[in-house]
Each structure stands twice: as structure tokens, then as C-alpha cells.
Amino acid sequence: MAAARDLAVHGEMRFNEPMSRHTSWRAGGPAEAFFEPASIDDLASFLAELDRDTPLFWHGVGSNLLVRDGGLPGVVVSAKKILRDLERLDQYLVGAGAGVACTQLARQCVRWELGPSEFFAGIPGTVGGALAMNAGAHGGETWERVESIRTIDRRGEIHERAPAEYTVGYRSVTGPANEWFLGATFRFEADVIPSLENMNAMLERRKRTQPLGLPSCGSVFRNPAGDYSARLIEAAGLKGYRIGGAEVSEKHANFIINRDDASATDIEELIEHVRQTVLDESGVSLTHEVRIVGELPA
């Protein structure tokens, strides 16, 4: 067992890596160590040898992530470059590595005429992130399609798992502790042919209704049962409200945009302000969907 700094790896290990480079909010403090393994073997032997008490955090592309300005202790693993396999396994089954972009999965499934799959095109993250979040859009959800999952644990051992081993809900997934997704097999349906037109229409709708050119993490809050967070935030008069460089989007009230070099603290304070104001105005307690991780600044 050794510290990350003392382990020989084939991939790239960087220290004090700004996570603002690896999050779609373009904000956040540094990772103590940021590891991009060269292969699954490299990853497995690193995990097998790493001190058990070193914190580990798995990163997709950071499209649902707020890393506090004090940064992330331990090691951030970014394995997306080595988990890129995407193949059709039989008539209905598709195998996808955790590093495959959801948009790529959607486009390939349209080519293969396997649906329903268009919804994946609306999720600007990886398959790994979509599995961790049960990401969904336009009426579809990741885990509705999961047939089996491949994971790696802290010792570097690989497991084949079944969906029954996970508890899956709206933007929430819990399963075996201290395991991360290497990939999944997805089952699509015989009589659902996806169309590029549908997919493009969905993406067009997003462009019209979401501030897509600006740094954000998509929807900040989960929708409460029977209502929409965006509606409640707008009704509370919060569109355009700013703290530091962070702003509630005028275009879509459930988006917080990094308008002007926002710190993660600005964003987190704005999230809390929105939550408290909506609670005061409408009595609804919103829960954030974005993952907030790391340490507060000293």
C-alpha cells in the first residue's frame, strides 16, 4: 500500500489540478491528484496498491459537478479515455464503456435503428455519469435500458453486476459500496425505431429553452413531485438573481450560469439562496440534483 505520489503508473498523474478545467461550470478548486490511467490494468494495479484511506472520486466530464473552492482531497480518477468501447452485441443489446459520451451512444443507436435511445443525446455527460445519476431526458431514463453493469472496486477487482443489485430512483442510484462503473450493456427494443429527426427536434427544443452556450450544470434542482423547480424559482422572482459571478438564468430558471468568473462559493451560495427563497415563498423544499463535493476554502 502506498500514497498516490509514490505509485508508478503508466497513465498521467497530475497534482494540484484545477477542477475548473474539468467541470462544465468552469469553477472549483484543485484535485490533490488527478489520475488518467493508460489502461484498465494500469487502473486496477493503481487501485490495488493505493492506501485504503486515500479518498477516491470518480469523474466523468463534470457536467453535474460542483467542486468547492477548497478542492478535492485524495485522487480524482478520470478513466473516460480508456473506456471508449461501443459495440452492438446482438439484435437488441449494446455494450458501452463508461467513457462513451451519451450523445455518441444516441447517435450510434440511431444508426443501428435501436430505440428508444434519442433521449441520451440530451445528456452532455458520459455513460458512467449517466449510470451514477440515472440521467434522463424527454421521458427516458438510463436505468430503464440497463441489462448488466461492469464495475471495478477499490482493490482493482472487476465485477459483473445485475440491475437488481442497485436501488434506482429519479436521478438517484445506490449499489455496492466503493465500486465504480466501467461500462454497461443496454437493452433496446425491437419495435422502437429511433429517428434523427426526433433527436434533432429534441436538441432544437433544448437550444430554444436552455442557456446552452454558457457554463452551467443543467438543472440544479430535482423537480418536486407534480411540479417543476423552474416554475417555482421563476414564481419566486429569482430569474436573473446574482451572487458574485453566478446568476439564475433568465432563459431557464432551474439553470445557474457562470456569468462572470464565478467561484464555486458564489454558485453554492446562490443554490442555497434559491432553495431558501423558494421554501419561504411556496413552502416547497427543493433538493439539488448537482453533486456538490470537496472542501470549503480555508
Catalytic residue among 20, 63, 219, 229: 219
Is 65 a binding residue for ligand FAD by CB under 6 A? The answer is yes
Is 29 a binding residue for ligand FAD by CB under 6 A? The answer is no
**Where do the DSSP E strands lie in the chain?**
12-18, 30-36, 56-59, 65-67, 72-78, 86-88, 93-97, 136-137, 140-141, 146-153, 158-161, 167-169, 172-174, 179-187, 242-243, 246-248, 256-258, 291-293
Is 124 a binding residue for ligand FAD by CB under 6 A? The answer is yes
Is 136 a binding residue for ligand FAD by CB under 6 A? The answer is yes
Nearer to ligand FAD, 44 or 191 (CB): 44
Alpha-carbon span 146 to 138, nearest angstrom: 17
Is 66 a binding residue for ligand FAD by CB under 6 A? The answer is no
Nearer to ligand FAD, 139 or 283 (CB): 139
Is 34 a binding residue for ligand FAD by CB under 6 A? The answer is no
Is 84 a binding residue for ligand FAD by CB under 6 A? The answer is no
Is 125 a binding residue for ligand FAD by CB under 6 A? The answer is yes
Neighbours of 49 (CB within 10 A): 17
Contact map string, positions 209 to 238, toward ligand FAD, x by CB under 6 A: ---x---xxx--------------------
17 as an active site residue: the answer is no
Q: Which of 19, 20, 24, 115 lies at the binding interface for ligand FAD (CB under 6 A)?
A: 24
Residue 246 in grid coordinates: 453566478
Nearer to ligand FAD, 71 or 129 (CB): 129
231 as an active site residue: the answer is no
DSSP 62-106: STTEEE-TT-EEEEEEE-GGG---EEE-SSSEEEEETTSBHHHHH
Q: Say whether 265 sits in a helix, a strand or coil.
A: helix
Is 78 a binding residue for ligand FAD by CB under 6 A? The answer is no
Is 71 a binding residue for ligand FAD by CB under 6 A? The answer is no
**Where do we find the cell 459495440?**
87
Number of residues that bind ligand FAD (CB under 6 A): 31
289 as an active site residue: the answer is yes
Is 43 a binding residue for ligand FAD by CB under 6 A? The answer is no
Residue 175 vs residues 91, 140, 165: alpha-carbon distances, Å: 28, 21, 6
Four-CA torsion 131, 137, 140, 142, nearest 10 degrees: 0
Residues near ligand FAD, by CB under 6 A? 24, 57-65, 98, 122-126, 128-130, 132-133, 135-137, 180-181, 212, 216-218, 291
Q: Which residues are catalytic?
A: 171, 219, 289
